[in-house]
Structure 1
Amino acid sequence: MGEHAKIFPGFWPYGDQVILGCIHKVGLGRFKGLVSTTAFLFLFSFVLIAALFNWMQIPIIQGSPLAHMSFTTRSTKKHHERVEFPFNCSVAALQGKKCPNKYPSVFEPDESSTETCSDYFRWIHQDLQQWKTSGITEDMIERGKASAHFRLVIVGGNVYVEKYTRPYQTRDVFTKWGILQLLRLYPGKVPDLDLLFYSGDETKIMRSDYQGPNSTLAPPLFHYCGSEENLDIVFPDWTFWGCRAEVNIMPWEDMLRAIKKGRKRTKWEQREPYAFWKGNPHVAKNRLDLMKCNLSDQYDWNVRLYYKNWSKVVDEGFNNSKLEDQCTYSMVPMQHYWPIRRQDKCRDLKFAVEWGNNHTQQAQDIGKAGSKFIEEILTMRNVYDYMFHLLNEYSKLLKYKPTVPSKARRICVESTACKQKGVWKEFLFQSLVKSPSNKPPCELPPPYEPQAIQASMDKIDNIDKQVENWGNVYWNKLNDTNQ
């Protein structure tokens, strides 16, 4: 654990309006290339991103996260009609079939491309490094079952799932749905594989448990979170497909359109100059600790924190919980995130907001960069390509041929969506991939060199210390003035 926490935009698109919880190095699960590999406090929100609040003076290794993806393209047009997948719940029910016997298994894009994926895709290699030498055996999978919510197997383009325990709400449903959409986007391209998935908040596979000459080999476990202290394999968050149906938060592409619209309602200069968080503080120690920084009769830390009772929100029909309606607050730090010390978060938050209010042009530039980031880099195409390369590289490590477990059942879009009702069904249909992609996935770049990773981490540490020194100077001057 490092001394500092990070206020960071992350890659968790939904949840509480700002999330305080699992922070770590990130892939597309939590945008790994932008942050240090220490575990840290996580204050995130589309609200704050949309409110033009993203902060960070930490470049991605070998490139900025806001830079355009480098690519060269050779395009040859093919003259065949785009195939649209059939999807009819009524027909499936009449035929007595939950899943069609035949799905398209050949991928024929209109274009051939040598487009290179963004630099953060390089972290895929790093996440799988633990098993590069040993490979992944079926015994490792068996030993990891106790840590997983479900096991997912792909054989011949079909998906099979064996459930172990019930996860929170419908996280597992929307995670599996995302994988099903990947197979529709790139039919016949996703290889056979066998993986375990945990859909909780806390990381599970601790690195320290698998070190030393007598230790066993760590089981691979896919998860939304990762950190330097654990070996969880970071996977895109379930909420890209609208898993927060329980709280009426839409799939990512629809949510992004709503946020773009919502942020235009209040001009930058008219936004309230406070750090803002809304959510349920009772699910994590760090959230409860954060509540101490709220406005009181004795202190004003430039922070406005609001407790959200989700049961009440549901009963009220979500009238006061739409993300697009909350783009009036802004915490204004350096470029994309600002380091906050765990043990002194209230003072650090106050200083961060004071800095932004005294550097308004830089703050506005940061906001514009944040908006550009989520609009150009945080795309569903990148989400799917990240998933594709992660699963493809993972499959290469398997030392056995995947087979369907005896207790697993086949799932498909029909079996998943047709039985749902209300907003759950609506969100699944909204995020449905209707046709194969007209171009192949981007090309995976090579892994980072160890020295490049270390140089980036050193730079991050230096910036942490710089901001800490600024804060100390601020508070020393403030104390001198008050004496």
Structure 2
Amino acid sequence: MLGRSGFAGIFSETTTWKPRLKKGPAAAATTTLFCIIFITLTFMASVRIDTSLFSAYNSRNVTIRISEKHKKPTKKLEIPLNCSIRNQPQSCPTNYPTSFSPNDLDPSSTPVCPDYFRWIHEDLRPWKADGITRDMVEKANRTAHFRLVIFKGKAYIEKYKKSIQTRDAFTIWGILQLLRRYPGQVPDLELMFDCDDRPVIRSKNYRRANTTGPPPLFRYCGDKWTMDIVFPDWSFWGWAEINIKPWESLLKDLKEGNDRSKWMEREPYAYWKGNPFVSETRRDLLQCNLSDTQDWNARLYIQDWILESQQGYKKSDLASQCTHRYKIYIEGWAWSVSEKYILACDSVTLLVKPRYYDFFTRSLKPLHHYWPIRDDDKCRSIKFAVDWGNKHKKKAQAIGKAASGFIQEDLKMEYVYDYMFHMLNEYAGLLKFEPRIPEGAVELCSEIMTCSSANGLEKKFMLESLVKGPSVTSPCTMPPPYQPRVLGKFYRNNINIIRQVEKWGNISDSQI
């Protein structure tokens, strides 16, 4: 389609046609005829004709496409919560739209999703050939905290047990916001969700030829030995217990924090603050702290969340912790939600070799988004990384900038929702049974969770992360699956880069 529209777009070539007018009655007739042609062409150019109906060609064989229908942009709707009057039982509203037409009905006009969306295909690959049966879903409830049923655009929850803190509540809240954002577009489905940290569906148990398919179990992280389906974690809608804001608000704060503290002006050390008592690898990290006899270029601090809560979280503001050129990410009991906060800081992320991944981290590249740190020799590895970065400031700064750019652009909240949307659509397409609402399930909606259930920070964060109304744009376009050859090359490249960095630690910096 040409870049210009209307009459000027049609006659946009360098040669301009001008009628030669004659004098007298014939001239008047010619003038009248020209005016009619001019008005007709102007009218045709002002309406949009479906490109499948016809194409106009000019003398240079340039195709001009005109659309027949002039579609008015869909007005953005804001639909507030409909809370019942006091002392009345809260119910779900009946006036929320069950469908909504976005502005960009042409799929070619929507952006392609970030590359990490391709892992949706990989996570669902175990069920691609034979699909998902009801028996498989039922077996996934052995460790699940709740069953989610989406039926005719509404959400129903069957709870089995309470999760740690409010993980289950904010995960369900996030799914309810997805339904508000894309009403009527999420298909009917049933799934089991486990809110604990570590994945549990072992791949080795389902390798034999006659074994039934693995139970499809959703959770927040996975590893190469398991087949759990990875989904965005609860903290994107807020972590009330430790006063971490919803992601959309926090992203803005982190960007402002980066603007306040320029990379060159930051402390030239590696920073980490957290709970070291949840894993052996974190306790081992503390050996790298500054001492009277050794400086490993690391500044490490123990986070006492009980004391912090008593003091009003004055020293745990994430946007105020982007003050060092380097920040350490290290796993705890499993993966840690802190990874996205660390990557967003403009600092070089020193990523201690991880075991687990969440839904977006598998597309991160060593030496582009982060600097890899050995797990079996942390202190020397950290010292080398910091020394190298302080001698090669522009290169180090570029790594930090690439990571924060990835977080700000490819992990903004609209893409989190689009990831959920595509994951649930792809999953629903594999179901070999008709979803149904079990007897023990209850309908949940944003009104029930906020108007009558939540209090304090929990309610505050839910209201802050509330989707105000249907999206006027479609979800991003799902990228295709990885070809095995491409995926193999991706793995090999990352492994080779990490091995090269490990070799650098054994030679002088001048040789790098």
Interval of TM-score (by shorter of Structure 1 and Structure 2): 0.7 to 0.9
The answer to whether the Cα contact below 8 Å between 1:161 and 1:408 also exists between their aligned partners in 2 is yes
Report the CA distance between 1:80 and its aligned residue: 5.0
1:317 corresponds to which letter in structure 2? G
Unaligned runs of 5+ in 2: 1-66, 327-347, 351-366
Q: 1:80 to 1:450 in 2, by over 3 A?
A: closer
Q: 1:99 to 1:227 in 2, by over 3 A?
A: same
1:453 corresponds to which letter in structure 2? L
Per-residue displacement from partner, 1:64-92 (whole Å, max 9, x unpaired)? xxxxxxxxxx996425543322313244x
Report the CA distance between 1:380 and its aligned residue: 0.9
* 2: CA distance, partners of 1:421 / 1:295: 42
The SS at the match of 1:330 is strand
1:394 alignment counterpart: 427
Q: 1:273 to 1:79 in 2, by over 3 A?
A: closer
Q: 1:205 to 1:476 in 2, by over 3 A?
A: farther
The answer to whether the Cα contact below 8 Å between 1:351 and 1:474 also exists between their aligned partners in 2 is no
2:441 corresponds to which letter in structure 1? A
Unaligned runs of 5+ in 1: 1-73, 478-483
2:249 alignment counterpart: 254
1:238 alignment counterpart: 234
2:151 alignment counterpart: 155
1:455 alignment counterpart: 489
TM-score (norm 2): 0.75
* 2: CA distance, partners of 1:298 / 1:205: 46
Identity percentage over the alignment? 52
Structure 1 stretches of 4+ with a deviation exceeding 6 A read none
Per-residue displacement from partner, 1:179-225 (whole Å, max 9, x unpaired)? 11111111000000001111111111111122123533210011110
1:357 alignment counterpart: 390
1:275 corresponds to which letter in structure 2? A
User: Structure 1 stretch 340-349 or stretch 427-436: which is displaced more?
Assistant: 340-349
Q: 1:446 to 1:335 in 2, by over 3 A?
A: closer
Equivalent residue runs for 1:36-55 within 5 Å: none
1:170 alignment counterpart: 166
Q: 1:153 to 1:348 in 2, by over 3 A?
A: same
* 2: CA distance, partners of 1:475 / 1:203: 40
1:139 corresponds to which letter in structure 2? D
1:89 corresponds to which letter in structure 2? C
* 1: CA distance, partners of 2:292 / 2:70: 68
2:28 alignment counterpart: none
The answer to whether the Cα contact below 8 Å between 1:356 and 1:363 also exists between their aligned partners in 2 is yes
Q: Select the residue among 116, 122, 126 that pairs with 1:126.
A: 122
2:444 corresponds to which letter in structure 1? I
* 2: CA distance, partners of 1:214 / 1:287: 41
The answer to whether the Cα contact below 8 Å between 1:156 and 1:192 also exists between their aligned partners in 2 is yes
The answer to whether the Cα contact below 8 Å between 2:290 and 2:297 also exists between their aligned partners in 1 is yes
1:370 alignment counterpart: 403
1:271 alignment counterpart: 266
2:320 alignment counterpart: 325
The answer to whether the Cα contact below 8 Å between 1:274 and 1:330 also exists between their aligned partners in 2 is yes
* 2: CA distance, partners of 1:287 / 1:265: 30
Q: 1:80 to 1:95 in 2, by over 3 A?
A: farther
2:377 alignment counterpart: 344
1:439 alignment counterpart: 473
* 1: CA distance, partners of 2:378 / 2:509: 13
2:91 alignment counterpart: 98
Q: Select the residue among 74, 77, 88 that pairs with 2:82.
A: 88
TM-score (norm 1): 0.80
The answer to whether the Cα contact below 8 Å between 2:370 and 2:400 also exists between their aligned partners in 1 is no
Equivalent residue runs for 1:52-71 within 5 Å: none
User: Structure 1 stretch 148-157 or stretch 203-212: which is displaced more?
Assistant: 203-212
1:108 equivalent in alignment to 2:101: yes
* 1: CA distance, partners of 2:309 / 2:297: 29
Report the CA distance between 1:472 and its aligned residue: 1.1
Give the structure with higher Rg (CA): 2
The answer to whether the Cα contact below 8 Å between 1:152 and 1:196 also exists between their aligned partners in 2 is yes
Equivalent residue runs for 1:402-413 within 5 Å: 402-413=435-446
User: Structure 1 stretch 405-414 or stretch 307-316: which is displaced more?
Assistant: 405-414
Equivalent residue runs for 1:217-236 within 5 Å: 217-236=213-232
Report the CA distance between 1:395 and its aligned residue: 0.1
